[in-house]
Chain A
């Protein structure tokens, strides 16, 4: 089985959802407690949504200093697959593992509803099974999800293919920035998710784990989770098993 770790910070509230979603996607999910340094031999790591440590100061700002995040950073540096969802994305951005920052939603209100996103690339570990380029419907639920970076960085991200997901309209066209309800938080260039330059660490604000079963109204998120699970499985089969100490071949 493909062992994928889900980090549990105090205040994580999508940890069990993510464990469940990964199981639906065919993985053997494992909970990883924030105070532990070991990753318990997992083959990939997911940082789930929630309000880690309460997020009173700023989303993700304290979580990045937790013992487990040192190990996650080392795991990522060694090439391990890491996915951050919602608060997990915020933590990754605070930790500098993915570019950019998540600011307060432009409407200054928490927003919880379905959005449409598309995968900009279908050749990454996080999107290769997400299907042909088409709008994927899944919920967002956040108060700080406005993706921000300077123009130079945004240009570079687009040039290097690091923009992973964008908010779109029903016809697949890119959402606007301010004042377009299709872009729920006013993210620059309608960016919903990005990855690092190496392509092994990614974050997105929408919740694929909440759209992974037909009974919940959408299975569009399952492709994202399955991409991660299957990519992890393949890499393991090829003998690529990153550990905190480095990639073991």
Chain B
């Protein structure tokens, strides 16, 4: 992007008109004119181009997002604020949000990922919460491809380089490989913070006459147009010309910014606080003013800069990192300056809150009483509303692709529809292949590049289910996870989103914790393409349906569109983040078996549908075979049951059945405990479905024999099928198959599938542990 030249919005002689060069359509230019009552000047146009970008304005997704449930027990702040905040008792609240940094990470993986972490952390401490955990959900293309490996390495180093330095533990996340992300990787980062409820700080600019203070790093030319150039357009390929649009992170500055911001809040020195992210000063000033119904007079000359000669539009839309905007009472100026100076952070009063509702940019200084100094020039004047809450909304066209086959509705006949490549299948070999595969092998080689234990709260770190952080000074713990079933979403976006919510919340419930709320990062394709917009529409519907059924509020999130490359669009990827609360940490239940002789139970029952499973990926089953069904009522009953059983002390371990199916879940229970098990699984339709199918709403638990009767009664009371499937013990995982599906039909076809799966835990563990390094070509060991 070049500096807006003279000649106005109509564009200078012959070249592309300025507005189009900035990504503003002709319709949008007219709408800007309507809101201003005149044509915008070049600076105003540059500001509108950023503020009306997809990334800042949600102009395609806003009507959809309005349909999501946002009310829930304890919700203190919901969508529209920097992060969702939910009360957890004891005068404390948890703040959490997930956000994407996809396109920057594709261009420059280290900085893209690093600033992704930095940005979401700022959303958390802006609200007065100390960041206590980060989870990062990463998706890439072919792991054997050199470019993918470069991206994985850079992103992982970037997440670590930033998170490790600021001292916020990376406690979880995902790493998934799928060809659809080849040209467009996804970097979604979730951050969680803890605050004293009374210190909740909102990003608003109340009180005309109050001072507007910018503190943190100086403003430079990095990240110009990050929101509009990178985040809001279809991605062509690795384009070096876009590198200047990627911001550069300084985690040391962020660490100082965290401490200074929290000190300002704790000491009651700020009226409102907002971080500078996408859209820079333009966004922070207009959003805070709009929320408070005020305006702002900004003196451009007062903004501390990294270099001379910056154009006004560069100062206004720069996305230089590690900056905060505070609104303060005039008499607190000295105290605020003292705090910033102690933390070594530049701090400048750049303007005043006004009553007229306009964002006014001047050059030439302000007088002491907050008016433009004599000789100052007004460069821009725009209603704050026009930039934010009254930004343009596009009604996009949604239409399903012709070939879509809807998943069977709940209650539909559950006939086996799977084309089973089971002839001659050796279930043990399949299990080993799954455990060593790119998406199921241990993520330890990645997770160990992160500091997961700083802050001394991590009870369960990354890699083995949901992360658990104790809350110091209480008996409580916070439990968090991210999840997304994108492959199913590729067949049925409603189902993919609903399954993602079901699985994420199930991961919370199996620890004994109660899910509190949901944050989401909707990664989709170009919304002007009807099929991509249909996917988004369906996914939002699925997200809303699942959250309503499970009684959970959506407290915020982020939308990332235009995730396409010349190779095509990504799978619809509605990444779900969930935070749960465990009231008594002594009740915390983990996935690993605990004691030799405990009985193993399966809660819930398998349903057919292998499409989009990891087994299908391995066996080459076409999507037309259909994914499994999801019954949200059953899911809710199951999660209630497991929480109740854990609450009564009936459960020694609990692991949900998800990617890789029952066999992989059982292998995890065994590997992570070092205890084997002898299990006997009743096969209803087909061994592949029962062993490796990923139908939802199933949990493997273990418990003491003397508690079996209570467990069975409790399950019956909740209306959840329960089956005793075996016993914990030994050093091997044995799964025998029983029932007509296992013996009669399979044997008739001459299949060996009736053979028991019987493997030493050591071998499972070795394959699982070494899989990812092997696939990524990383050296083992140090």
Among A51, A106, A110, A139, the residue within 8 A (CB) of B252 is A51
Mask, A1-34, CB within 8 Å of B = 1, is: 0000000001101101100110000000000000
**Is B400 located at the chain interface by the 8 A CB criterion?**
no
Q: Does B451 lie within 8 Å of A110, measured CB to CB?
A: yes
**Closest residue to A8 on the B side, CB-wise?**
B259
B255 pairs with A111, CB closer than 8 A: no
Known contacts A112-B448, A186-B782; is-contact A141 B164 (Cβ 8 Å): yes
- B584 to chain A minimum Cβ distance, whole angstroms, is 12
Known A-B contacts A10-B256, A11-B252, A17-B454; the reply to A110 vs B449 at CB < 8 A is: yes
Whether the Cβ atoms of A180 and B458 lie closer than 8 Å is: no
Contact A13 B456 (CB under 8 A): no
Interfacial chain A residues near B182, Cβ < 8 Å? none
176-195 of chain A: CB within 8 A of chain B: 178-181, 183-186
CA distance A178 to B585 in the complex (A): 40
Whole-angstrom distance from the CB of A49 to the nearest CB of chain B? 8
Measured between beta carbons, the chain A residues less than 8 angstroms from B459 are 215-217
In this complex, which of B344, B449, B452, B470 has the most chain A Cβ atoms within 10 angstroms of its Cβ? B449
Residue B13 lies at the interface, judged by CB distance under 8 Å to chain A: no
Contact B782 A184 (CB under 8 A): yes
A51-75 with Cβ < 8 A to chain B: 51, 53-56
Q: Would you give the 0/1 interface string for B733-762, flagging 1 where the beta carbon is closer than 8 Å to chain A?
A: 000000000000000000000000000000
Alpha-carbon gap, A29 to B167, bound state (A): 20
Q: Is B160 interfacial (CB-CB < 8 Å)?
A: yes
Asked if B453 and A10 sit within 8 Å, CB to CB, the answer is: no
Q: How far is the CB of B759 from chain A (nearest CB, A)?
A: 24
**Does B331 sit within 8 A of A, measured CB to CB?**
no
Interface string of A138-159 (1 = CB under 8 A from B): 0101010000000000000000
Alpha-carbon gap, A105 to B781, bound state (A): 12
Q: In the bound complex, how far is the Cα of B666 from the Cα of A216, in angstroms?
A: 25
Instruction: Provide the residues of chain A in CB contact with B449, threshold 8 Å.
Output: 109-112
Asked if B58 is at the interface (CB within 8 A of a chain A CB), the reply is no
Tell me how far the C-beta of A197 lies from the nearest C-beta in chain B, rounded to whole angstroms.
30
Residues of B within 8 A of A55 (CB): 165, 252
Indicate whether A166 reaches chain B with its CB closer than 8 angstroms. Answer: no
List chain A residues, Cβ under 8 A from B472.
Answer: 20
A13 touches B256 (CB 8 A): no
Instruction: Tell me, yes or no, whether A50 is within 8 Å of chain B by CB.
Output: yes
Decide: A207 near B782, CB < 8 A? Known: A112-B448, A216-B458: no
Cβ of A209 under 8 Å from chain B: yes
Residues B227-258 near A (CB distance < 8 A) = 250-253, 255-256
Residue A210 interfacial (CB < 8 Å): yes
Q: How far is the CB of B346 from chain A (nearest CB, A)?
A: 14
In the assembled complex, the CB of A164 is this many whole angstroms from the nearest CB of chain B, namely 21
Residue A41 at the chain B interface, CB threshold 8 Å: no
Q: Across the interface, do B165 and A13 meet the contact criterion of CB distance under 8 Å?
A: yes
User: Does residue B166 face the partner (Cβ distance < 8 Å to A)?
Assistant: yes
* B455 interfacial by beta-carbon distance below 8 Å: yes
* A107 at interface, CB cutoff 8 A: yes
Minimum CB–CB distance for B621 against chain A, Å:
37
Check B255–A216 contact: CB distance below 8 A.
no
Complex interface: chain A residues within 8 A of B533 (CB) = none
Chain A hits for B255, CB < 8 A: 10-11, 13, 51
Residue of A nearest to B780 (CB): A181
Does A249 sit at the interface, judged by CB under 8 A? no
A179–B252 alpha-carbon span in the complex (Å): 32
Interface size on B, residues (CB 8 A): 34
Chain B, 416-468, CB within 8 A of any chain A CB: 444, 448-456, 458-459
Asked if B177 CB lies within 8 Å of chain A CBs, one says no
In the complex, which of the residues B253, B459, B779, B781 has the most CB atoms of chain A within 10 Å of its own CB atom?
B781
Alpha-carbon distance between A110 and B169 when the two chains are bound, in angstroms? 13
In the complex the two chains form, is A183's CB within 8 Å of B782's CB?
yes
Say whether B454 contacts A110, CB under 8 Å: no
Contacts of A141 in B (CB 8 A): 164, 451-454
Q: Closest A residue to B458 by CB, please name it.
A: A216
Whether A10 contacts B451 by the Cβ 8 Å rule is no
Q: How far is the CA of A141 from the CA of B450 in the complex (A)?
A: 8
Task: Determine if B779 and A112 form an interchain contact, defined as CB atoms under 8 angstroms apart.
Answer: no
Q: In the bound complex, how far is the Cα of B444 from the Cα of A160, in angstroms?
A: 38
Q: Which residues of A contact B167 (CB under 8 A)?
A: 13-14, 50
Q: Is the CB of B456 within 8 A of A54?
A: no
Does any Cβ of A come within 8 Å of B343's Cβ? yes
Given A10-B344, A53-B252, A56-B252, residue A17 in contact with residue B782 (CB < 8 A):
no
Give Cα distance in the complex from A57 to B458, angstroms: 30
Contact of B456 among A20, A53, A112, A143 (CB under 8 A): A20
Of B343, B444, B470, the contact of A10 (CB 8 Å cutoff): B343
B468's nearest neighbour on chain A, judged by CB, is A215
**Once the chains bind, are B456 and A209 in contact (CB under 8 Å)?**
yes
A210 near B453: Cβ-Cβ < 8 Å: yes
B250 to chain A minimum Cβ distance, whole angstroms, is 8
Closest to A16 in B: B455
A110 to B158, CA, bound (A): 11
Which of chain B's residues has its CB closest to A184's CB? Answer: B782
- For window 764-782 of B, CB contacts with A under 8 Å fall at 779-782
Chain A: CB-nearest residue to B779? A107
Cα distance, A209 to B781, chains bound together (Å): 26
CB atoms of A17 and B455 under 8 A apart: yes
Residues from chain A with Cβ under 8 Å of B165 in the complex = 11, 13, 51, 54-55
Give min CB distance, B133 to chain A, whole Å: 14
Q: Is the CB of B164 within 8 A of A112?
A: yes
Query: Which residues of B are found within 8 Å of A212, using beta-carbon distances?
Result: 456
Q: What is the CB-to-nearest-CB distance from A11 to chain B, in angstroms, rounded to a whole number? A: 5
Residue numbers in B under 8 Å from A217 (CB-CB): 459
In the complex, what residue of chain B is closest to A14 when comparing beta carbons?
B454
Please give me the residue from chain B that is nearest to A111 by CB atom: B448
Which A residues lie within 8 Å of B585 (CB)? 215
**Proximity bits, A111-145, B CB within 8 Å = 1, else 0:** 11100000000000000000000000001010100
Contacts of A213 in B (CB 8 A): 456
Which residues of B sit under 8 angstroms from A105, Cβ to Cβ? 782
A contacts, CB < 8 Å to B: 10-11, 13-14, 16-17, 20-21, 49-51, 53-56, 105-107, 109-113, 139, 141, 143, 178-181, 183-186, 207, 209-210, 212-213, 215-217
User: Could you pull out 11 A-B pairs where Cβ atoms are within 8 angstroms?
Assistant: A11-B256, A13-B167, A16-B455, A17-B455, A50-B167, A105-B782, A111-B448, A112-B449, A180-B782, A207-B453, A210-B453
Given contacts A17-B455, A110-B450, 19 further A-B contacts (CB under 8 A): A10-B256, A10-B344, A13-B166, A13-B454, A14-B167, A17-B456, A49-B454, A55-B165, A111-B448, A112-B452, A113-B444, A139-B453, A141-B453, A178-B782, A180-B781, A181-B782, A184-B782, A215-B459, A216-B458
A-B pairs, 4 with minimum CB distance: A13-B167, A54-B252, A141-B451, A112-B451
